[in-house]
């Protein structure tokens, strides 16, 4: 038998096809699903907010990524492929390393991306380590991204062949050691191809909901979640314009995000947008669309797929959110390990807490969490 591979299975089409391809390639495949932490809502609250006829009992304590139906589906696929399948408990590390950080970031006035943190700390941290402990050579997932090697044998991360499904943004945190132990079996395929392969093999052809973003929020309402986790976040404060003029009162900074237009409750002659969450003054800074545009941003400590930053400034396409259109920019690594990114044209929704991810063509170089943006 070939090398042992642990495949993270969701019961959906992508990871099922990934597992099937690995079996066909002769690997010794073991399927796993992570049981993640999920918020517990009292049933009545959920009943009130849940759309449709879902049984509150079933939904109450289950993370969307590992709901009972997902476990059954993945188990069914594993049986069909003749591979062992295990559900492993990751509640505690997920809670402390992803969920608690998510809450803390909002409390600090930033808009975090928990999927990125989860990939670094949990999927390619805890789970990859777990796979090694089980004697596996590789961890495989159904992500749309590609791993290649350069002339010196260094690993590179590339966008998935299907640009519409590309997930390299949330994988940009992977380094050389991670990529050396990772397989993305569907990265070279398009979604329609994956569906066809699934159909040919009698595997499920449906995706699990595309983005299981905020899989741990019981009712999908992250603002309500934040209030339940950290009630003191709902601290009203002033809505100010750039000149410091008070325009109204906000309900608490976590309820707002940069670029947001509606819901400010401020009467103005021109449309106003959220420019900034000023944590120190507990103030919401608003302004016009023109004021929203920013040309530069600074990131905190950057991560580099190559393991080290390029030697100097470089031209890149930079993505400031998971699904944002890449924008041309010059990225300058700074002495403190961060970066400064200068865009060719102003962007309207640079959001502190989100990651700026750097690409040259389809190759992902790395990224960093946005600390601030300016004109």
Partner 1 sequence: MIIYLDHSATTPVDPRVVEAMAPFWTEIYGNPSSIYGLGRRAAAAMEDGRRRIARILNCGPTEIVFTGCGTESDNLALRGVALAAAARGKRHLVTTPIEHHAVLHTANDLAEHYDFEVTLVPVDRYGQVDPDAVAAAIRPDTALVSVMMANNEVGTLQPIAEIAARARARGVPFHTDAVQAGGHLPLDVEALQVDLVSLSAHKFYGPKGVGLLYVRRGVRLLPVQTGGGQERGRRSGTENVPYIVGMATALELAHAERETESQRLRLLRDRLIQGLMAQIPDLILTGHPTQRLPGHVSLLVPGAEAEALLIALDMAGIAASSGSACATGSPTPSHVLTAMGYSPQEAMSALRLTLGRANSEADVDYVIEKLAEIVPRVRGRR
- State the residues that interact with partner 1 by CB under 8 A: 30, 35, 84, 86-89, 91, 129-130, 132-135
CB of 138 to partner 1, least distance (A): 15
Pairing status of strand 303-304 against strand 363-374: antiparallel
- Are 369 and 299 in contact by the 8 Å Cβ rule? The answer is yes
Under DSSP, is residue 66 helix (H, G, I), strand (E, B) or coil?
helix
Task: Please give the angle made by the CA atoms of 223, 227 and 228, to the nearest 5 degrees.
Answer: 115
Closer residue to partner 1 (CB): 80 or 132: 132
CB-wise, 4 or 279, nearer to partner 1? Answer: 4
Cα distance between residue 299 and residue 280, in whole Å:
19
Pairwise CA distance, residues 353 & 331, whole Å: 18
Residues tagged active-site: 118, 215
Nearer to partner 1, 133 or 323 (CB): 133
CB of 133 to partner 1, least distance (A): 5
Phi, psi at residue 95, to the nearest 5°? -65, -50
CA distance 84 to 97: 28
Residue at token pair 């470089």: 314
- Cβ proximity to partner 1: between 93 and 293 the closer is 93
Spatial distance between the Cα atoms of 78 and 89, rounded to a whole number of angstroms: 18
Residue 100 CB, nearest approach to partner 1 (Å): 19
| Shortest Å, Cβ 35 to partner 1 | 7
CB 36 to partner 1: min, Å? 12
Cβ 346 to partner 1 shortest distance, Å: 47
* CB nearer to partner 1: pick between 86 and 314: 86
- Nearer of residues 89 and 344 to partner 1, judged by Cβ: 89
- Residues in contact with 338: Cβ distance below 8 Å, sequence separation at least 6, in sequence order: 298, 299, 300, 301, 302, 368, 371
* Residue 280 neighbours by CB distance under 10 Å: 6
- Counting beta carbons within 10 angstroms of the beta carbon of residue 128, is it exposed (0 to 12), middle (13 to 18) or buried (19 or more)? buried
Instruction: Check: CB of residue 217 under 8 Å from CB of residue 39.
Output: yes
């Amino acid at each position: 038998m070939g090398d042992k591979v642990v495949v993270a299975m969701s019961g959906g089409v992508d990871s099922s096809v990934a597992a099937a391809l690995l079996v066909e390639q002769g690997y010794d495949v073991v399927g796993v699903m992570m049981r993640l932490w999920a918020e517990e809502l009292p049933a009545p609250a959920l009943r009130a907010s849940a759309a449709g006829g879902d049984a509150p009992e079933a939904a109450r304590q289950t993370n969307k990524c590992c709901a009972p139906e997902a476990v059954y589906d993945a188990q069914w696929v594993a049986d069909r492929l003749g591979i062992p399948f295990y559900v492993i408990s990751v509640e505690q590390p997920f809670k402390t390393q992803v969920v608690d950080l998510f809450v803390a970031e909002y409390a600090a006035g930033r808009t975090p991306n928990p999927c990125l943190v989860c990939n670094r700390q949990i999927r390619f941290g805890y789970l990859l380590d777990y796979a090694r402990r089980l004697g596996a050579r590789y961890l495989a997932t159904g992500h749309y991204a590609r791993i290649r090697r350069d002339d010196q044998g260094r690993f590179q991360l590339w966008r998935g062949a299907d640009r519409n499904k590309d997930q390299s943004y949330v994988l940009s945190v992977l380094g050389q050691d991670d990529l050396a132990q990772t397989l993305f079996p569907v990265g070279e395929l398009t979604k329609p191809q994956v569906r066809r392969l699934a159909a040919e093999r009698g595997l499920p052809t449906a995706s699990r909901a595309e983005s299981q973003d905020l899989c741990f929020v019981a009712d999908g309402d992250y603002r309500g979640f934040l209030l339940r986790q950290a009630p003191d976040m709902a601290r009203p404060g002033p809505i100010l314009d750039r000149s410091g003029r008070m325009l109204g009162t906000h309900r608490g900074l976590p309820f707002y995000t940069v670029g947001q237009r509606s819901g400010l409750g401020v009467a103005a002659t021109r449309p106003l947008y959220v420019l900034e969450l000023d944590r120190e003054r507990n103030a919401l800074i608003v302004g016009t669309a023109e004021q929203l545009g920013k040309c530069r941003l600074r990131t905190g400590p950057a991560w580099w797929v190559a393991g080290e930053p390029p030697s100097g400034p470089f031209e890149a396409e930079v993505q400031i959110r998971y699904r944002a259109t890449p924008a041309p920019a010059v990225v300058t690594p700074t002495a403190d390990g961060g970066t400064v990114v200068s865009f060719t044209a102003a962007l309207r929704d640079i959001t502190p807490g989100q990651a700026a991810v750097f690409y040259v063509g389809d190759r992902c170089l790395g990224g960093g969490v946005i600390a601030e943006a300016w004109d």
